[in-house]
Amino acid sequence: MGILDGKVAVVTGAGQGLGRVEALELARNGASVVVNDLGVAADGSGSSEEPARAVVNEIEAAGGKAATAFGDVADWDAARRIVRTAVDTFGDLHILVNNAGFSRDGMIVKMSEDQFDSVLRVHVKGHFCMIKHTMDFWREKSKAEGGAPLYGRLISTASDAFLMGNLGQPNYAAAKGGITFLTLSAARECQRFGATANVVLPRARTRMTDSGPWAAIFQKPEEGFDQFAPEHVGPVVAWLASPHAAHVSGNLLQVWGKHVRVFERPQAALDHENEVEWSVDELQKVLGPFFEGKKPIEDSFALPMA
């Protein structure tokens, strides 16, 4: 018996990396899983059905249930068909885990319009299309059942790139910020169905971290504990998808190795009401001391080096 027995999940970008790990973990806990993947390279080029089929075979070989769905998550109609694949194949949809995406890195001064647009499309629009069609299904299901609460879990994959403003990844950082606040909005909207929505911020070795400025940090160690192995992320996603997290919604959970960190909504660092109307001099009296000694870019979210 698994904690997700009888539940149906869609995992996008599940043919490789984090998505594969999460699909396997959900199946291990009893969920029937629709494995969505276009089989593209790390920069979004090419396509192959083999990665998704391999994950389905892996799940079935372990005694689980799975099906493939090859649609582009950022295509409106294709996203709807992915949702319908879950419903038509397994009779329902309870869990949506959004992972699909790619990166096309570059400095702002050298970035092309296509580099920016394509990354925003797959991440932000891709998350939106899948969330939209999933919530449409839940809304209609709730209506048909007289407004009764249902079992629904939206889990989005962002990155602390949007917290740090990663150098050389302005498109990716912007996309992950968009995903985060899209999901927080969804959390408010889907609570009327009894559903939840949360964001996972993985620090893991994937195709998006095996090159660029962070590659050395995420490299697999020759010996000892591998804190950036993607397998550490799977249980967090399974927990959010489980009945244990029925009351957990609108949060950001960061995970790497044996570490988990929960971010709540942004909190004010300074809240001051002045006695007189603002002028440059009055602002300097308040803001000057507050910012004195602070770095231009706060590095409080820096990656652990150990």
Pull the structure tokens for residue 122: 């797959």
| Distances from the Cα of 259 to the Cα of 153, 232, 256, angstroms | 23, 9, 5
Q: Return the number of other C-beta atoms located less than 10 Å from residue 261's C-beta.
A: 13
Amino acid at 109: V
Strand partners, 8: 32
151 assigned to active site: no
In what order do the strands lie in the sheet containing 8-12?
Answer: 66-69, 32-36, 8-12, 95-98, 153-157, 196-202, 252-256, 259-263
| Catalytic residue chosen out of the listed positions 32, 118, 156, 159 | 159
| Catalytic residue chosen out of the listed positions 172, 211, 295, 300 | 172
| Catalytic residue chosen out of the listed positions 7, 125, 156, 176 | 176
Pull the structure tokens for residue 148: 């009764």
Strand partners, 200: 157, 253
249 assigned to active site: no
Query: How many Å apart are CA 99 and CA 90, to the nearest integer?
Result: 21
Q: Any idea which residues carry the catalytic annotation?
A: 159, 172, 176
